[in-house]
Amino acid sequence: MFESYETGRKVEKSEFEERAATLRPALLNAQFDSRTAGFPIVVLLSGNDRAGGNEMLDLFHEWLDARGFDTSVFRDVNDAERERPHFWRYWQALPARGRTGLLLTGWAGRRVYERGDGDLDDAEWEAHLRHVRALERELVADGTLLLKFWLHAPRKTLEKRFERADKDPDSEPYVEKTDEGVLKNWKGRWRAAEDLIRRTDTAWAPWRIVESSNRRARALDVFETLLSGLRWRLGMNSASGELAEPPAPQLPPLGTRRLQEVDLSATVAPEEYRERRRDLQGKLALLSRKARREKVATILVFEGWDAAGKGSAIRRLTQALAARDYAVTPIAAPTEDERRYHYLWRFWRAIPAAGHIRIFDRSWYGRVLVERVEGFATEAEWQRAYDEIRDFEEHLVEFGTVLEKFWLHISPEQQLARFQAREITPYKQHKITEEDWRNREKRPAYEAAVEEMIVRTGTSQAPWTVVSAEDKRHARLTVLETVVRALERAVG
Amino acid sequence: MFESYETGRKVEKSEFEERAATLRPALLNAQFDSRTAGFPIVVLLSGNDRAGGNEMLDLFHEWLDARGFDTSVFRDVNDAERERPHFWRYWQALPARGRTGLLLTGWAGRRVYERGDGDLDDAEWEAHLRHVRALERELVADGTLLLKFWLHAPRKTLEKRFERADKDPDSEPYVEKTDEGVLKNWKGRWRAAEDLIRRTDTAWAPWRIVESSNRRARALDVFETLLSGLRWRLGMNSASGELAEPPAPQLPPLGTRRLQEVDLSATVAPEEYRERRRDLQGKLALLSRKARREKVATILVFEGWDAAGKGSAIRRLTQALAARDYAVTPIAAPTEDERRYHYLWRFWRAIPAAGHIRIFDRSWYGRVLVERVEGFATEAEWQRAYDEIRDFEEHLVEFGTVLEKFWLHISPEQQLARFQAREITPYKQHKITEEDWRNREKRPAYEAAVEEMIVRTGTSQAPWTVVSAEDKRHARLTVLETVVRALERAVG
């Protein structure tokens, strides 16, 4: 999940100063208004970047009116805390109505490291996640504006920082010797953090993951989200206690650039393609038979732009499979009968039996793509769908299902060329409709939806593979390779 | 928890026929209207009383229009189910909009027995509970009316039934040999069921526990709840998909009679009282010192009618305690400062440190008692408070805190006599105010609130003790004994 954020993006000083110049007075005004409106604000600053969190705390005090803050930095447990239930210290740190609690790490800190380091067993970890969800729900239902930031620094950034601190401690005033623990058990803590974020990323208290290596970009991400959250909360009529159920805060689009970063120039030469394809299809044939024998189910999800080559990529898979082992399920708009059920119902029905492979040509992700963009689902519906989809896929993964999800990516220009080719090729004319042209107009809205989908539903258990599909051969090989690797992990 | 329902109440045939005569046409009309309104209805019939569930299924088909039903009886897992994730079978059983799914056991069946029998580990059980909550939330958010009944038969009822079935199988057509498993591991399954109910008794999908030993009473409980749920759902404007967040269904008061069943004639003679008090206070003194040494925290919650004797019962405890070990916290209406926080905030602050005893004279239960009855909390607020309070108390219990909760019960007549005595006794006049007289007028509303509180928050981890307090000596001894026993379990 976190790789999605490792974009290495930077903000130049001039751009930063320009955006800060409008952001700062707007934030101050919103902070003042929120005091008058009288709701509490909780800002949770957590992540693997402790120094970055401390720098943000300083910026909060610099940019905003520090008199409204109750700042709590959670480090080691003190005596009073040790003698009480773990959450006692978080309750002590909660702000009164009209005030802002700045919590460094909070309930997304210590327990995450403990879990990552193997010091919390399953039951303790589940209890923690349950209590986090309960607490967040209670606070938001009570009128709190709750904003949760996970500051993610890539491993290289942290390594450099620790090196600098070793040479000259003054250059990195917030780095402490113990911080280096984050590198020692990188994978374990990463997994625990991802688990926490996935399981507590709710409609009412969504996480914002912020790439933390560039200070200016980080500050703008956090403060623009804060401003947007404040304005959304100020726009609500009920200042406190009157919310029957917590609504979803409206935050700006996430700062990911997964699609922009796809290397669309990737190509594969015809000969290389034939050879590797033959090799991969051979492996796939063997692995699929083994999966059948071992009763492992497989689900492959294909999403992507119109004309990105989903159909042809799927065919290169099925060429290697025995007809008895797989089925391809194309997903269109739900029928009248299907609309009489929960939108996930038709997908539950289509789950493959153990030992079978089910390929979805479009899928349940329509809820957060076409239904979101075209307004077929209300905002409340598609907002809660991320949580619902994660729960659905958890059922699959817990059952041992191999689950791979592909987004086939092409440029608008490539799409145009393919549309035009379809229009003049007789046997392809059925593949292009008025609707395809209309969807093309809405590309920016779709891009935002795709970014959010990848970030909020791409987990280590059920990852998204964003496929560079400008070159069809490259796309097909990427898909074949990903499926072969996944099956090798499961039955190889 | 289930003991609360073992009231042994019966409904005579004549009363049953009278109530059924108005209930049946009303139900048919509501069923017809719900089909037109086009929302799905899910009725989950679970419990330790499998035969009772089957009898209810028959009654559903007899009383209502059976053409609208999709009935699913979940017994052993079949081949198709074994080859898919566990919840697949529940999704198959979900009704379309306008139809009613009758699910016998459903997601509150097999998994509960498996957990009770030790066949599910912590992680698997937590995953199940998480998926249940997610599913229920999804369905209700999507417009489903979801009603969950747990049919509880006392052990004796089941024993008799199995005996009858042994002698003459035709007399108990729904009893099967395997059903007797419920008696073999009574405690384990009871605990698992209680855990499930506690953790999935949400504002949007509350449980209704129904005592199942009397067929007529059981039928009236279920159908009256159904009618009330249907009417509530019909009264909502949005037929489907438009609910940003699931609201709380308005169901009739629970069928418990915990207060009516208290034996108010219980008394203790003065001499016996002195002797047992001395003995218990001696034990309490020793145990409290041991708890201090072993760093076990204790929380004692006192609720009860005005003039029921909370203060004097507390004094009999504190007489035995060292002043350094305990504190009594009287809870009045929150101050202006306290109102600036979540209502649980002031109670989190008051949590005793490990090794200490904190006695609450009134408590966080004010949320679902005085605040509910007097309208200081909105319905949404006090409805979600049961869940919030259970989570709060889970924190305490997980930390190892000894938690005992008392409701001191007296009759209205006894209360009147004590009020009058207070008015004429100079040193007691401060204890009686206009408000006490006003509260007295609202006794029926308070009784309903007390019943619901005991049932929805009384768990094996944090039980309620309803104390017969008509005789003060009896009340004081009951409290002393309960506290001594709880401490003995913890440190004895």
Query: What single-letter amino acid sits at B270?
Result: P
Cβ <8 Å between A85 and B351: yes
d(CA B159, CA B172): 12
pLDDT score at B203: 77
The alpha-carbon gap from B439 to the nearest alpha carbon of chain A, in Å, equals: 25
The pLDDT confidence band at residue A238, using thresholds 50, 70 and 90, is: very low
Q: Residues in chain B with pLDDT < 70? A: 4, 237-256
Residue among B98, B345, B384 minimizing CB distance to A94: B345
Cβ <8 Å between B123 and A127: no
Which of B340, B360, B341, B342 is CA-nearest to residue B350?
B360
Chain B neighbours among A 238-297 (CB < 8 Å)?
Answer: 241-248, 295, 297
pLDDT score at B238: 45
Cβ <8 Å between A94 and B341: yes
Q: Can you tell me the mean pLDDT for A17-34?
A: 93
d(CA A79, CA A90): 15
Q: Which helix (H) or strand (E) covers residue A402, if one does?
A: strand A402-409
Contacts of A141 in chain B (CB under 8 A): 380, 384
Q: State the count of interchain CB pairs (< 8 A) between A and B.
A: 163
Over residues A360-401, the pLDDT tens digits come to: 999 999 999 999 999 999 888 898 898 889 889 989 998 999
Residue among B83, B87, B131 minimizing CB distance to A354: B83
pLDDT score at B246: 54
Residue among B245, B349, B395 minimizing CB distance to A87: B395
For residues B332 and A239, the model is more confident at: B332
Cβ <8 Å between A388 and B138: yes
The alpha-carbon gap from A125 to the nearest alpha carbon of chain B, in Å, equals: 9
Q: By mean pLDDT, which of A133-137, A175-179, B197-201 is the weakest?
A: A175-179
The distance between the two most distant Cα atoms of chain A, rounded to a whole number of Å, is 78
pLDDT score at A141: 84
3-class DSSP state of A79: helix
Mean pLDDT of chain A: 89
The alpha-carbon gap from B132 to the nearest alpha carbon of chain A, in Å, equals: 10
pLDDT score at A241: 40
Which of B172, B218, B206 is CA-nearest to residue B5?
B218
Contacts of A242 in chain B (CB under 8 A): 378
pLDDT score at A275: 97
Q: Which contacts qualify for B119-124: CB closer than 8 Å, 24 or more apart?
A: B121/A122, B122/A121, B122/A122, B122/A123, B122/A126, B123/A122, B123/A123, B123/A126
Percent pLDDT > 70 in chain A is 96
ipTM above 0.85, yes or no: no
Contacts of A298 in chain B (CB under 8 A): none
d(CA B141, CA B97): 13
Residue among A84, A131, A349 minimizing CB distance to B353: A84
The alpha-carbon gap from B80 to the nearest alpha carbon of chain A, in Å, equals: 7
Residue A265 CB-half CA count within 13 A = 1
Statement: the pTM of the whole predicted model exceeds 0.80: no
Q: Can you tell me the mean pLDDT for A232-254?
A: 58
Asked if B336 has any chain A CB less than 8 Å from its own CB, the reply is no
3-class DSSP state of A456: helix
CA distances from A167 to A135, A161, A170, A175, A307 (A): 42, 10, 9, 12, 54
The pLDDT confidence band at residue A251, using thresholds 50, 70 and 90, is: low
Q: Can you tell me the mean pLDDT for A119-126?
A: 88
Which of B131, B121, B79 is CA-nearest to residue A295?
B79
Q: Can you tell me the mean pLDDT for A215-237?
A: 88
For residues A204 and A130, the model is more confident at: A130
Contact in structure between A190 and A113 (CB atoms under 8 Å): no
The alpha-carbon gap from A127 to the nearest alpha carbon of chain B, in Å, equals: 9
Of B240, B245, B346, B351, which to mutate for an interface test with A (greatest number of A Cβ within 10 Å)?
A: B245
The pLDDT confidence band at residue A204, using thresholds 50, 70 and 90, is: confident
Over residues B338-383, the pLDDT tens digits come to: 888 889 999 998 999 999 999 999 999 999 999 999 999 988 889 8
Contact in structure between B91 and A349 (CB atoms under 8 Å): yes
pLDDT score at A64: 92
Which of A5, A9, A7, A23 is CA-nearest to residue A214?
A9
Q: How many CB atoms lie within 10 A of CB B226?
A: 25
The alpha-carbon gap from B299 to the nearest alpha carbon of chain A, in Å, equals: 12
Asked if B181 has any chain A CB less than 8 Å from its own CB, the reply is no
pLDDT at A481 over 70: yes
Contact in structure between A449 and A373 (CB atoms under 8 Å): yes
Cβ <8 Å between B353 and A83: yes
Of A124, A336, A347, A395, which to mutate for an interface test with B (greatest number of B Cβ within 10 Å)?
A: A395
Asked if B141 has any chain A CB less than 8 Å from its own CB, the reply is yes
Percent pLDDT > 90 in chain A is 53
Cβ <8 Å between B349 and A92: yes
3-class DSSP state of A249: coil
Contacts of A135 in chain B (CB under 8 A): 391
Vertex A400 angle, CA A399 and A405, to 5°: 105
Straight-line distance from the first to the last Cα atom of chain A, in angstroms, rounded to the nearest whole number: 25
Cβ <8 Å between A123 and B123: yes
pLDDT score at A247: 58
pLDDT score at B362: 96
**Chain B: residue whose CA lies nearest to A38:** B340
Q: 3-class secondary structure for chain B?
A: CHHHHCCCCCCCHHHHHHHHHHHHHHHHHHHHHHHHHCCCEEEEEEECCHHHHHHHHHHHHHHCCHHHEEEEECCCCCHHHHCCCCCHHHHHCCCCCCCEEEEECHHHCHHHHHHHCCCCCHHHHHHHHHHHHHHHHHHHHCCCEEEEEEEECCHHHHHHHHHHHHHCHHHCCCCCHHHHHHHHCHHHHHHHHHHHHHHHCCCCCCEEEEECCCHHHHHHHHHHHHHHHHHHHHHCCCCCCCCCCCCCCCCCCCCCCCCCCCCCCCCCCHHHHHHHHHHHHHHHHHHHHHHHHCCCCEEEEEEECCCCCHHHHHHHHHCCCCHHHEEEEECCCCCCCHHHCCCCHHHHHCCCCCCCEEEEECCHHHHHCHHHHCCCCCHHHHHHHHHHHHHHHHHHHHCCCEEEEEEEECCHHHHHHHHHHHHHCHHHHHHCCHHHHHHHHCHHHHHHHHHHHHHHHCCCCCCEEEEECCCHHHHHHHHHHHHHHHHHHHHC
pLDDT score at A239: 38
Contact in structure between B50 and B183 (CB atoms under 8 Å): no
Residue among B86, B97, B399 minimizing CB distance to A85: B399
d(CA A363, CA A359): 9
pLDDT score at A246: 55
Cβ <8 Å between B399 and A245: no
Of A39, A81, A83, A358, which to mutate for an interface test with B (greatest number of B Cβ within 10 Å)?
A: A83
